[in-house]
Amino acid sequence: MAATGLPKVTIVFENGALGLVSPSADGVLGVLCNGVVVAGKFALATPYIITKFADLEANLGITSANNANIVKFFSDFYAMAPDGTEVWLMAFADTFTMANMVDNTSITNGRALLQAANGRLRGLIVTRTPATGYTPTVTAGLDSDVAAALTNAQVLAEYAANTLMAPVFVMLEGRSYSGVDTALTDQSQATKNRVGIFIGDTVASSANACMGLLAGRIASIPVQRNIGRVKDGSIATMTAYIHSKKVEQAEPALIHDKGYITMRTFVGRSGYFFSDDHLCTLSTDDYHTLTARRTIDKAFRIAYDTLLGELLDEIPVNDDGTIAVTKAKSIETKVENAIINSMTINGELGNDPGNQNDTGVSCFIDHTQNLVSTNQLDVTLKVKPFGYAKYIDVKLGFKTLTT
């Protein structure tokens, strides 16, 4: 078509050259909390998707007047994560405990949210706002609800991994912390490798924890990234407390050593940072950190999706019933390439910089296994984690003519 109008120079912006893709689902979280019904807009025990802070009032009628706890959570969340970050919300009556929210025997709570999301959720964030006048039973330094929820959360997360084939982690609010670190149960001796507990809030002497800030950091970083990474900057708050004390006047190291996540400061750096990413399990557990948990869970999802394509497929075998070597190698390559293309190229797996063939993943199928007699194909898949400089020791001295 011929150009019309005044003579001019036209420049058209081309798109697509950078090969950018849609945001990863790795940071999609579900939030379980207490809430109040907003007639015609917001119901309890019902899943909702939030993508920006404005969605709360515009879509659900949620305001500080009717659901202050939910508003604070999402205000904190989107102070850490960008607009467009997807969050699934499900709220319950104020009689619901955290243990109720993650009880796998119920089909109307956190389990229902996992099922409604159809495998999209990578983690659950659990926080509680009980009725006015509620008096907690403090056991081992926290509301007894926390310990009950810890047990239930591990069972629910295992259900997600083993039954739904959509593994998740769970972060629990360390409610009603007494301020006595020695009273805390040592979670570094526990065996709940899908659950973490966070202690600390932006308000002094609060019974709650600032779960929105924690969730926002998790949602905004890749799976291999530690939530306490200093390069990512401080937490989006000007105030942070552990019980009644400002973080800089408290003893976060003692809470950290008990296997909890909390907040800390650094001399010479302004702001507050997350202490680390402990989960409630032994330090000898391969999955004792959130980074390890999120990394292996992502590999799990990719491998499951890839191998699902092989289910009930015809597989060529040798005369003795063992799998043909060429087929075994084909499946190995298919799984490795899927993980390379989704994780290695994104820098989510560790690899040797001096070895250009190190992709951070290896898949192996023993071709001597008899597929005809067992109808079972065993696959060994390994991915390489990163190391983390959690302790940096420096020998510092004066340089002289003789040294």
Mind listing the pLDDT tens digit for each residue in 170-184? 999 999 999 999 999
**Residues 238 and 119 placed together within one structural domain of the fold:** yes
157 part of a folded domain: yes
Position 367 in a domain: yes
Which among 291, 321, 346 is the end of a domain? 291
Q: Report H helices in 29-67.
A: 55-60
pTM of structure? 0.91
Question: Residue 354 has what pLDDT?
Answer: 84
How far CA 353 is from CA of 96, 145, 358, 386, 390, in Å, comes to 50, 47, 8, 12, 21
- Is residue 315's pLDDT more than 80? yes
Predicted pLDDT of residue 16: 42
What is the average per-residue pLDDT within 200-206?
97
What tens digit of pLDDT does each residue of 115-171 get? 999 999 999 999 999 999 999 999 999 999 999 999 999 999 999 999 999 999 999
Side-chain-side CA neighbours of residue 87 (13 Å): 34
Q: Is residue 12 part of a domain?
A: no
Residue range 6-31, pLDDT digits in tens: 654 544 445 444 444 445 699 999 99
In a domain, 376, yes or no: yes
Residue 331 Cα to chain centre, angstroms:
29
Check whether 352 has a pLDDT greater than 90.
Answer: no
Question: Mean pLDDT in the chain?
Answer: 91
Q: Are strands 380-383 and 361-364 parallel, antiparallel or unpaired?
A: antiparallel
Q: Let me know: does 341 contact 360? Beta carbons within 8 Å.
A: no
Same domain, 226 and 87: yes
DSSP-derived secondary structure for 60-95: H---TTT-HHHHHHHHHHHHHS-TT--EEEEEE-TT
Q: Note whether residue 100 is domain-resident.
A: yes
Q: 81 near 31, Cβ under 8 Å? A: no
pLDDT score, position 12: 47
Q: Considering 291, 323, 353, which residue would you say is the last residue of a domain?
A: 291
Pull the structure tokens for residue 294: 């999120």
Same structural domain, 286 and 321: no
Tell me: do 134 and 206 sit in the same domain.
yes
Q: Are residues 285 and 316 in the same domain?
A: no
Give 43's contacts (C-beta < 8 A, 6+ positions apart).
37
Task: Quote the number of domains for the chain.
Answer: 2
Is pLDDT of 313 > 90? no
Task: Report the C-alpha gap between 59 and 377 in whole angstroms.
Answer: 48
| Pair (286, 320) in one structural domain | no
Phi/psi at 396 (nearest 5 deg)?
Answer: -120, 130
Task: Give the separation between CA 26 and CA 121, rounded to whole angstroms.
Answer: 8
Length of the chain measured in residues = 403
The domain in which residue 374 lies consists of 312-403
